[in-house]
Homo-oligomer: A and B are copies of this chain.
Amino acid sequence: MVAVEVPPIEVRGVELPRGETAIIVVDMQNDFVRREGKLYVPSAESTVKPIIELLDRARSLGVRVIYTQDWHMRNDPEFRIWGEHALAGTWGAEIIEELRPLPDDFIVRKLRYDAFFGTSLDYFLRVNGLRNLVIVGTVANICVLHTAGSAALNWYNVVLPMDGVSALTDFDLYSTLRQVSFLYKGTITRTTDIKFT
């Protein structure tokens, strides 16, 4: 068994202009967040409360909210990797009750890890002048990191609150934080340390 040292990661507060910022809630669906789900991420449950509080605060200030939703066809080739999950139209693919989207939220149904891949997310963000993306949800080093990566390549400003993302191992969580801070010069923070101006 190997253990490695994690390079230092700065955690700090951040201020974001409300009209140019969106919260992206990644894959908080029954299959990932519920014990009965097909790809249960145990630590996802503890992120629900911080995400709810962040969304409440954001919405009250007019910050846009975007949800990603893994949404697979029958016989999706991704099932060869993960088994069947987030099958279109099933309970498992639904966003969890507590985080149910509101009518004005934008929902991105995606087929792969990256919420920019084969979707209109980039178009939506550009057209609406949204340049800062607070990304929360699960799984940290899978759909959260892939989405953060594409965002960064397109020069969106990425903000990742540690208490709003969940992973299957500590290693995976740290590698997500490392990539976002070191490669993308994104901000690692906590949900309560984000101020909308």
Contacts and interface: CB of A to CB of B under 8 A. Distances in A.
A149 B150 CA distance: 11
A4 B6 contact: yes
Interface residues of A, number: 44
Contact of A175 (B118, B170, B178): B178
B185 A77 contact: no
Identical chains bound together, number: 4
A47 interface: no
Contacts of A111: 120, 123
Nearest to A89: B103
B77 A174 contact: no
Nearest to A1: B5
A183 interface: yes
14 contacts: A4-B6, A4-B169, A4-B174, A6-B171, A7-B171, A110-B120, A112-B123, A113-B183, A114-B153, A118-B122, A127-B155, A142-B183, A146-B153, A171-B178
